[in-house]
Amino acid sequence: MKLGIASYTFRKFPPEKLIAFMHELKTPYLNLKDMHLPMGPAAEVKRQADAYRAAGLVLTAAGNVTLNKDDEADIRAKFEYVKAAGIPIMVCAPTRTVLPKLEKYVKEYDIRLAIHNHGPEDKEFPSPHDVLKAVKGMDSRIGCCVDLGHAMRAGDDVVQALADVGPRLFDIHIKDLSVRDQRDSQVAVGEGLMPIRAVFEQLVKMDYRGMVDLEYEIKADDPMPGVVESFAYMRGVLSGMGYDWRGREA
């Protein structure tokens, strides 16, 4: 269990500033959104991805990638993009129509798909449980990126949802809310209703080895104070559980 950043948090900032923020946060783990790694020719995607690695960052996932076209060329282009970047997980938002077509590409490219739930507004996958139902019986490399804030807004018990997803849990986007069902109530992690310690205890119980990526969607022009506060709180919780701030046993 490692704490990272979903780069959408810093969507208003260029790559060089993103890298500086990551160094300030003392975490190398980065889930890259396309504003920080644009789709394009494979050689250029690889060059940009390698530049992040040269700066000491670990590219854990790409996305959220939209997969809403029932078009084989569009699907292949998205897989080629993630392959060129050398990234093992595609966090994605497919439609139910497109989802059955994705399995053959998962097998061909050996890239894991982590389907992201987006809460009550999402007509496809509001909850991780909707993802689970849709991927039942599919290749084991197709699973979930559980967004805890959106899951809470969808009415989930977030700790139980993680347990239910089990081995199909590939990634986590974490945020906090001051009002359970209101998207606009997001606050720094630790200031809201999200049961952070119980979430971490469940992940330890599951022996979860993936990322917990902060996706701080508010104060886009000046996110760093809230991001720093969120990291400090999460690291404090982990420390209180007997882990150092990198998530390793103390």
The residue with tokens 């991001």 is: 227
Q: What is the pTM of this model?
A: 0.95
pLDDT of residue 243: 87
Query: What is the fold, at CATH topology level, of the domain defined by 2-240?
Result: TIM Barrel (3.20.20)
pLDDT of residue 244: 72
pLDDT of residue 250: 42
pLDDT of residue 33: 98
What are phi and psi for residue 66, nearest 5 degrees? -85, 130
pLDDT of residue 245: 60
Please give the single-letter amino acid code of residue 21. Answer: F
b/e 62-72 (16+ beta carbons within 10 angstroms → b): bbbbebeeeee
Beta strand ranges found along the chain (DSSP E): 2-6, 29-32, 58-67, 89-94, 112-116, 142-147, 169-174, 176-177, 186-187, 211-214
pLDDT of residue 248: 54
Per-residue pLDDT for the chain (250 aa), expressed as one digit of tens each?
Answer: 799 999 999 999 999 999 999 999 999 999 999 999 999 999 999 999 999 999 999 999 999 999 999 999 999 999 999 999 999 999 999 999 999 999 999 999 999 999 999 999 999 999 999 999 999 999 999 999 999 999 999 999 999 999 999 999 999 999 999 999 999 999 999 999 999 999 999 999 999 999 999 999 999 999 999 999 999 999 999 999 998 766 555 4
Domain spans, the chain:
2-240
